[in-house]
Amino acid sequence: MRLILYISLAALLGTCSTPPPLLDQVLELGELRVVTRDSPTAYVDSPDGPSGPEYDLVKAFADDLGVELVIEPVQSVSEVLPRLIEGEAHMAAAGLSTTPSRRDFVNFGHPYEMVDMHLVYKLGTGKPRSLEEVIGRTIEVVAGTSHVDTLVALQQLHPELTWTENADVEVATLLAKVAAGDVDFTIADSTEFSIQRHFYPDLRVALDLELGDHLAWAFPRDAGDTLLERADDFMIEFEREGLLAKVKDRYYGHTRKFDYVGTRNFIRHYESRLPRYRAMFEEAAAQWGVDWRLLAAIAYQESHWRAGAVSPTGVRGIMMLTEDTARYLGIDDRVDPRNSIFGGAQYFARQTERVADSVEEPDRTWMALAAYNVGFNHVKDARQIVEWQGGDPDAWIDISKALPLLAQREWYSRVPFGYARGWEPVLYVNNIRAYYNILQWLTASEEEQTREFDIPGDIAPPPEQKPAEVERT
């Protein structure tokens, strides 16, 4: 039943009453119904529960209203606004650009993100230097998107420009088609591209078609402005308190760097090296309550899955354990893959246990990873710096800014455990998030997955890292 029109029942009973404002309807119903799209940049219903940047935002908004959140997912962005206009939801949260054509049908709230619109191609197929060089080649885009509006506008200047619209897919599908060589180009927003390029390292940006598009929630035009105004107040305060930045960091903070060669090598090593150790990762992960893919990602960052790896500082093995760490864990042979993997799993689990109970996931995992690399005491020092700065010591986004300060005398002289190469654990964590994200994607079709975490990530060239060590207190 159409939610926005349900109050019109009074009219059917012979009255001429005006439906109450949309906010009142939501509060009376006790539910906030939101139409969104099934996409990593919006909403994903995984075995661990719902996630995604749009989901996190609307869940916080529903909690602020004191109502239950009801998600109405659709498979394509082309379905979002029709569902909203037909009254099947109170609002839409789907990474929608605030285009003039859409404003004819819906009202938009306060913008919460800016994106660039990329024309994407496959490396080796010839990068166009201008739009004229795109004419005559195949372009496929998602129907009903701002991407179509942009092409229509460009066609006024380039009448020979043509494209195909597909209403049954999401951008991720079209990026895969470009990567496979089935189509020459597609269009993707910068947020979507930043995630998907790690799965398809041959993809590149050919041209930027639009810069600085605003994304915002959409609301029915004929239902008053009460819910929109309340949403605007919420979003402004959410941003002011730094909570919006935390959501963005969770899903996009790790996408600031991209290494084409590193990504290709990782996928190649996944096929050639990982199989011989996978069963060990799975067994150790089950014993210590860790996702095996996260454990494998740590190992790849440490050694690129080489059991005989040796660093210039003397750390050895697939998990690159120091002598002190191996002794602490009761490991005699740290080069033995099984010993090293089980030792690394145990050590990571212990670092996780040491993280303050007030730290929630995924920040808890990221702080444990930082502690695995630089030592837990240096993470404690970073938390102290964050408190001095008036930040949130339970938020990874704040900790990641404080850790590099441990290399500056102004700061390390004030904390108990002193100097640290604090930029290294930040890169370390981002890289592992990247590898983990790719492993999740590569293993997504497997039925036996058991996941404790769901942490999207990015890829960056692995810096020389200081391996896990036992702190001396």
Per-residue pLDDT of the chain (473 residues; tens, 9 = 90+): 444 444 343 333 334 456 789 999 999 999 999 999 988 889 988 766 888 899 999 999 999 999 999 999 998 888 999 999 999 999 999 999 999 889 999 999 999 999 999 999 999 999 999 999 999 999 999 998 999 999 999 999 999 999 999 988 888 889 989 999 999 999 999 988 887 887 788 899 999 998 888 999 999 988 778 999 999 999 999 999 888 988 888 887 666 665 666 778 888 899 999 999 999 999 999 999 999 999 999 999 999 999 988 876 678 899 998 888 888 888 888 889 999 999 999 999 999 999 999 999 999 999 999 999 999 999 999 999 999 999 999 999 999 999 999 988 888 889 999 988 898 899 899 889 989 988 988 887 564 444 444 444 443 333 344 344 444 33
Q: DSSP letters of 340-407?
A: HHHHHHHHHHHHHHHS-TTPPTTHHHHHHHHHHHH-HHHHHHHHHHHHHTT--TT-HHHHHHHGGGGG
Q: At what angle do helices 226-240 and 243-252 cross, to 10 degrees?
A: 80
Q: Which of 334, 412, 340 is nearest to 380 (CA)?
A: 412
The CA-atom distances, in angstroms, between 234 and each of 25, 111, 112, 241 are 18, 12, 11, 11
Longest dimension (CA), the chain: 85
Residue 54's identity, in one-letter code, is E
Quick check: helix, strand or coil at residue 166?
A: strand
Residue 393 within a domain:
yes
Tell me how many domains the chain contains: 3
- Which candidate in 302, 424, 447, 469 is catalytic? 302
Residue 37, classified by CB atoms within 10 Å of its CB into exposed (0-12), middle (13-18) or buried (19+), is buried
Q: How far is it, in rounded angstroms, from Cα 374 to Cα 367?
A: 10
159: Cβ contacts below 8 Å, ≥ 6 apart: none
What would the two tokens of residue 207 be? 């041209």
Check if the beta carbon of residue 109 is closer than 8 Å to that of residue 74: no
Residues 194 and 219 in one domain: no
Residues 50 and 15 in one domain: yes
Task: Note whether 18 and 137 are same-domain residues.
Answer: no
User: Which of 254, 278, 305 marks a domain boundary?
Assistant: 254
Within-domain flag for 356:
yes
Q: Which residues contact 400 (CB under 8 A, 6 or more apart)?
A: 253, 366, 426, 429
In a domain, 473, yes or no: no
Token readout for 239 is 């941003």
Element (H, E) at 132: none
Per-residue tokens: 294: 């996260």
Q: Is residue 1 part of a domain?
A: no
Distance CA 73, CA 70 (A): 10
160 and 103, same structural domain?
no
- Same-domain check for residues 245 and 106: yes
Residue 12 covered by a domain:
yes
Domain boundary among 187, 214, 241: 214
Amino acid 235: pLDDT? 96
> What is the CATH number for 176?
3.40.190.10
Task: Give dist(CA 121, CA 141) in Å, integer.
Answer: 13
**pLDDT at position 248, please?**
86
The dihedral over CA atoms of 331, 336, 339, 343, expressed in degrees to the nearest 10, equals 80
**Residues of the domain holding 285:** 260-442
State how far the Cα of 238 lies from the Cα of 301, in Å rounded to an integer. 35
201 and 343 together in one domain: no
Distance (Å, whole) CA 387 – CA 138: 54
- Told to judge if 302 belongs to the known catalytic residues of this protein, a careful annotator would answer yes
Does residue 249 sit within a domain? yes
Q: Is the pTM of this model over 0.75?
A: no
The values of phi and psi at residue 168, to 5°, are -105, 10
Are the C-beta atoms of 431 and 262 separated by less than 8 Å?
no
Task: Please tell me the predicted confidence (pLDDT) of residue 449.
Answer: 42
187 and 298 belong to one structural domain: no
Same structural domain, 187 and 295: no
Question: What's residue 260's pLDDT?
Answer: 64
Would you list the DSSP string of 215-227? EEEEEETTS-SHH
Residue 469 forms part of a structural domain: no
Q: Are residues 243 and 265 in the same domain?
A: no
Does one domain contain both 208 and 279? no
Q: Are residues 93 and 236 in the same domain?
A: yes
Copy the structure tokens of residue 382. Answer: 């970073």
Looking at residue 51, what is its pLDDT? 86
What is the rounded CA–CA span in Å between residue 164 and residue 424?
Answer: 46
CATH code: domain of residue 397:
1.10.530.10
Q: Are residues 385 and 418 in the same domain?
A: yes
CB–CB of 340/334 below 8 Å?
yes
- Comparing CA positions, the residue from 209, 258, 208, 310 lying closest to residue 460 is 258
Distance CA 166, CA 176 (A): 14
CA dihedral 55, 56, 62, 67 (to 10 degrees): 80
Report yes or no: 343 and 319 within 8 Å, Cβ to Cβ.
yes
